[in-house]
Amino acid sequence: MSRSTQFIGLSPSALKFVNEKCHKEPVVTCDCCGHSKGGNFITKIDRHTSGMFEEEIPLTTFYMYAPSPVGEKVFEVKEVVQCDPWSSGPMIFTHLQLENGEFIGSWTDEEINKMITG
Protein backbone atom coordinates (compact mmCIF):
# COMPACT_ATOMS: atom_id res chain seq x y z
CA MET A 1 0.00 0.00 0.00
CA SER A 2 1.41 3.40 -0.90
CA ARG A 3 1.62 6.17 1.62
CA SER A 4 0.06 9.49 0.69
CA THR A 5 -1.86 12.42 2.05
CA GLN A 6 -5.62 12.02 1.82
CA PHE A 7 -7.43 15.35 1.88
CA ILE A 8 -10.94 14.57 3.11
CA GLY A 9 -12.04 18.19 3.51
CA LEU A 10 -15.31 19.52 4.87
CA SER A 11 -18.04 17.39 6.42
CA PRO A 12 -21.48 17.14 4.81
CA SER A 13 -22.88 19.48 7.49
CA ALA A 14 -20.14 22.07 6.78
CA LEU A 15 -20.86 21.87 3.04
CA LYS A 16 -24.57 22.38 3.76
CA PHE A 17 -23.71 25.51 5.79
CA VAL A 18 -21.57 26.85 2.94
CA ASN A 19 -24.33 26.18 0.38
CA GLU A 20 -27.01 27.84 2.51
CA LYS A 21 -25.15 30.76 4.11
CA CYS A 22 -22.09 31.78 2.09
CA HIS A 23 -22.09 34.36 -0.68
CA LYS A 24 -22.09 33.45 -4.37
CA GLU A 25 -21.54 35.50 -7.50
CA PRO A 26 -24.77 36.58 -9.17
CA VAL A 27 -25.97 34.33 -11.99
CA VAL A 28 -26.17 36.15 -15.32
CA THR A 29 -28.19 34.68 -18.19
CA CYS A 30 -27.69 35.75 -21.80
CA ASP A 31 -30.95 37.05 -23.32
CA CYS A 32 -29.96 35.73 -26.77
CA CYS A 33 -28.85 32.16 -26.12
CA GLY A 34 -29.98 31.47 -22.54
CA HIS A 35 -26.46 30.50 -21.41
CA SER A 36 -25.88 31.22 -17.71
CA LYS A 37 -22.64 31.97 -15.92
CA GLY A 38 -21.72 32.87 -12.39
CA GLY A 39 -23.14 31.38 -9.21
CA ASN A 40 -19.72 30.33 -7.90
CA PHE A 41 -18.82 30.94 -4.29
CA ILE A 42 -16.77 34.05 -3.67
CA THR A 43 -13.68 32.66 -1.98
CA LYS A 44 -10.07 33.37 -1.18
CA ILE A 45 -7.26 30.85 -0.83
CA ASP A 46 -4.59 32.52 1.27
CA ARG A 47 -3.59 29.77 3.69
CA HIS A 48 -2.57 26.15 3.46
CA THR A 49 -1.78 23.09 5.49
CA SER A 50 0.94 20.60 4.65
CA GLY A 51 0.74 16.96 3.67
CA MET A 52 3.13 14.20 4.65
CA PHE A 53 5.71 15.27 2.06
CA GLU A 54 5.30 18.98 2.93
CA GLU A 55 3.09 19.50 -0.14
CA GLU A 56 0.85 22.54 0.21
CA ILE A 57 -2.87 21.84 0.52
CA PRO A 58 -4.94 25.02 0.12
CA LEU A 59 -7.57 26.00 2.67
CA THR A 60 -10.53 28.14 1.59
CA THR A 61 -12.01 31.28 3.10
CA PHE A 62 -15.70 31.82 2.29
CA TYR A 63 -17.70 35.01 2.85
CA MET A 64 -21.02 35.33 4.64
CA TYR A 65 -23.14 38.48 4.59
CA ALA A 66 -25.31 39.36 7.57
CA PRO A 67 -27.41 42.37 8.48
CA SER A 68 -25.99 44.83 10.99
CA PRO A 69 -27.21 48.16 12.41
CA VAL A 70 -25.24 50.02 9.70
CA GLY A 71 -26.09 47.79 6.74
CA GLU A 72 -24.70 44.45 5.63
CA LYS A 73 -21.52 43.18 7.26
CA VAL A 74 -19.17 40.72 5.61
CA PHE A 75 -17.87 37.88 7.75
CA GLU A 76 -15.05 35.51 6.86
CA VAL A 77 -15.73 31.80 7.32
CA LYS A 78 -12.41 29.92 7.24
CA GLU A 79 -11.79 26.27 6.49
CA VAL A 80 -9.38 24.99 9.15
CA VAL A 81 -7.91 21.57 9.94
CA GLN A 82 -10.00 19.70 12.51
CA CYS A 83 -7.78 16.62 12.77
CA ASP A 84 -5.37 14.53 10.71
CA PRO A 85 -5.39 10.89 11.83
CA TRP A 86 -2.99 8.47 10.17
CA SER A 87 -4.12 5.78 7.72
CA SER A 88 -1.26 5.04 5.26
CA GLY A 89 -0.65 8.77 5.51
CA PRO A 90 -2.48 11.68 7.07
CA MET A 91 -6.22 11.98 6.44
CA ILE A 92 -6.95 15.69 6.68
CA PHE A 93 -10.44 16.50 7.97
CA THR A 94 -11.48 20.16 7.97
CA HIS A 95 -14.32 22.20 9.42
CA LEU A 96 -15.33 25.86 9.38
CA GLN A 97 -14.38 28.58 11.84
CA LEU A 98 -16.31 31.82 12.22
CA GLU A 99 -14.61 35.11 13.12
CA ASN A 100 -15.76 34.73 16.75
CA GLY A 101 -13.87 31.41 16.99
CA GLU A 102 -16.98 29.20 16.81
CA PHE A 103 -16.61 25.99 14.80
CA ILE A 104 -19.30 24.94 12.32
CA GLY A 105 -19.75 21.55 10.66
CA SER A 106 -17.21 19.56 12.65
CA TRP A 107 -16.86 15.90 11.79
CA THR A 108 -18.19 13.57 14.50
CA ASP A 109 -15.95 10.83 15.90
CA GLU A 110 -18.29 8.29 14.27
CA GLU A 111 -17.96 9.93 10.84
CA ILE A 112 -14.18 10.10 11.13
CA ASN A 113 -13.91 6.46 12.21
CA LYS A 114 -16.14 5.39 9.31
CA MET A 115 -13.91 7.27 6.85
CA ILE A 116 -10.76 5.68 8.34
CA THR A 117 -12.06 2.12 8.41
CA GLY A 118 -14.01 2.30 5.15
Q: pTM of the full predicted structure?
A: 0.85
Residue 75 inside a domain? The answer is yes
Say if 1 falls within a structural domain: no
pLDDT tens-digit profile of 16-44?
999 998 888 888 888 888 888 888 888 99
87 domain residue, yes or no = yes
Question: Strand 71-83 relative to strand 91-98: parallel, antiparallel, unpaired?
Answer: antiparallel
Does some domain include residue 68?
yes
Q: What is the chain's pLDDT, residue by residue, as a tens digit (118 residues)? A: 578 999 999 999 999 999 998 888 888 888 888 888 888 888 999 999 999 999 999 999 999 987 667 777 889 999 999 999 998 889 999 999 999 999 999 999 999 999 988 7
Backbone angles phi, psi at 72, to 5 degrees: -75, 140
78 in a domain, yes or no? Answer: yes
Q: Confirm whether 77 is domain-assigned.
A: yes
Q: By residue range, what is the domain housing residue 107?
A: 6-117
Query: What gap in Å lies between CA 84 and CA 90, rounded to an integer?
Result: 5
Number of domains in the chain: 1
